[in-house]
Amino acid sequence: MALENHKCPCLEWQDVEGCCHRVNIIERLYIGRVCQGVPADKRVIIRDVNVSRDHAIITRAGNALTIKDSSRNGTWVNNVRITSGGEQKLVSGDFVHIGSTKLHVVFSEQPDHCNSGDVNLIEITRVLSRQETVTHLVADIRGFSILAQQTESSLLFEVLSQLYESLTNIVHENRGTVKDFAGDAIFAFWEHNVKDDSAVVRSACHAALLQQQAAVALFSNLPEKFSKLRHLKLGWGIATGPVTVSHYGVRSENLALVGDSTNLAFRLSGLANKELSSTIVVCHKTAEMVEQFMHVTPLGEVGTKGRAGKETVFSIA
């Protein structure tokens, strides 16, 4: 949706004391607990120990709004987490969740200036650790190490850039979050922050199926100079389970998901299209939550590297 020329985009929100605020977005709007050195009309101060000193920036460029996360505890747009350090487009009607504050993106005929002030600034951000259910998706390239030895790095980078851009867009279109790129793998996740858990899991599985189609289309249509890369294959692993979501270190990008299901997703991706013939391999909990909505095929029990016992796994189509 393009911005309407006769209206100015702004944020509206209500603070913990019930006071309503509005601030217009001219070029850049800084959101955080301190926003040191930023003029009062270009910042939104949120007095919350869970909010970083410099939490997020909203940028207006012509008829486009984007928000960039630079926080420790995350920024959500319409209940979907932005990739740590990443950007997300904003349109009129969007809701931005930062800490316990919900900010509404609106277009105003006569926008007012923000009336939040530099009061009771807290110097230390309290990093949250939350226990929640998450569905993980890991897509891993088969035989990447040998491929890297045999292929010119510039050619490999060009193809991988196209691949990861396509896979990332599919995650975002299906309301997921890209955690990072771990070597030759892309790691994404879906938080179960809605009432219908199965809908979240279906989104992750649907994303994997679309990623599979996109990868095949990309590789099969590569120009002649990429002939060695036309036979690239990926394996997908999907696992659902409880994790602790927090941060390691001091960088906002160091978002941590800690739990057996995180490890399991990586292990399953390593088996897919390799030890197992199926391209997409999912854990039993994931299969149970989507079997009424898509074709699920049992693959039996498998051992997973570094984990005790065996896991019953399935493929989806």
Task: Say yes or no: 171 and 103 in one domain.
Answer: no
Exposed (0-12), middle (13-18) or buried (19+): which is 235, by Cβ within 10 Å?
buried
Cα separation, 137 vs 123, whole angstroms: 36
Task: Say yes or no: 136 and 283 in one domain.
Answer: yes
Q: What pLDDT shows up at residue 251?
A: 56
Q: What pLDDT shows up at residue 201?
A: 97
Residue with tokens 């009432």: 195
Q: Are 176 and 199 in contact (CB under 8 A)?
A: no
Task: Say yes or no: 197 and 246 in one domain.
Answer: yes
Residue 199 CB coordination number (10 Å): 15
Task: Say yes or no: 136 and 275 in one domain.
Answer: yes
- CATH number, domain with residue 49: 2.60.200.20
Task: Say yes or no: 96 and 139 in one domain.
Answer: no
Q: Is residue 276 part of a domain?
A: yes
Task: Say yes or no: 298 and 253 in one domain.
Answer: yes
* Residue among 281, 238, 248, 244 nearest 138 (CA): 238
Residue with tokens 């960039």: 68
Q: Are 229 and 220 in contact (CB under 8 A)?
A: no
Exposed (0-12), middle (13-18) or buried (19+): which is 120, by Cβ within 10 Å?
exposed
φ and ψ of 246, to 5 deg: -155, -150
Task: Say yes or no: 141 and 194 in one domain.
Answer: yes
Q: What pLDDT shows up at residue 146?
A: 81
Q: Is residue 116 part of a domain?
A: no
Task: Say yes or no: 286 and 193 in one domain.
Answer: yes
Cα separation, 306 vs 266, whole angstroms: 11
Q: Is residue 206 part of a domain?
A: yes
Task: Say yes or no: 47 and 152 in one domain.
Answer: no
Q: What pLDDT shows up at residue 178?
A: 92
Two tokens, residue 114: 């923000």
Cα separation, 28 vs 7, whole angstroms: 17
Q: Is residue 204 part of a domain?
A: yes
Q: Is residue 143 part of a domain?
A: yes
Q: Which residues of 82-115 are buried (b: 16+ CB within 10 A; e: fewer)?
A: bbbebebebeeebebbbbebebebbbeeebeebe
pLDDT per position in the chain (317 positions), as tens? 444 445 788 899 988 778 889 898 989 999 999 999 999 889 999 999 999 999 999 999 877 899 999 998 999 999 999 988 889 999 999 999 999 999 999 976 544 443 444 444 455 667 777 889 999 999 999 888 887 887 888 888 888 899 999 999 999 999 999 988 876 899 999 999 777 899 999 999 999 999 999 999 999 888 888 887 888 899 999 999 999 988 776 555 678 899 999 999 999 999 999 999 999 999 999 999 999 999 999 999 999 888 888 999 999 99
Query: How does DSSP classify residue 17?
Result: T
Q: Is residue 125 part of a domain?
A: no
Task: Say yes or no: 236 and 194 in one domain.
Answer: yes
Task: Say yes or no: 93 and 206 in one domain.
Answer: no
Task: Say yes or no: 287 and 151 in one domain.
Answer: yes
Domain tally for the chain? 2
Domain that holds residue 54: 8-108
Q: Is residue 301 part of a domain?
A: yes
Residue with tokens 């796994």: 313
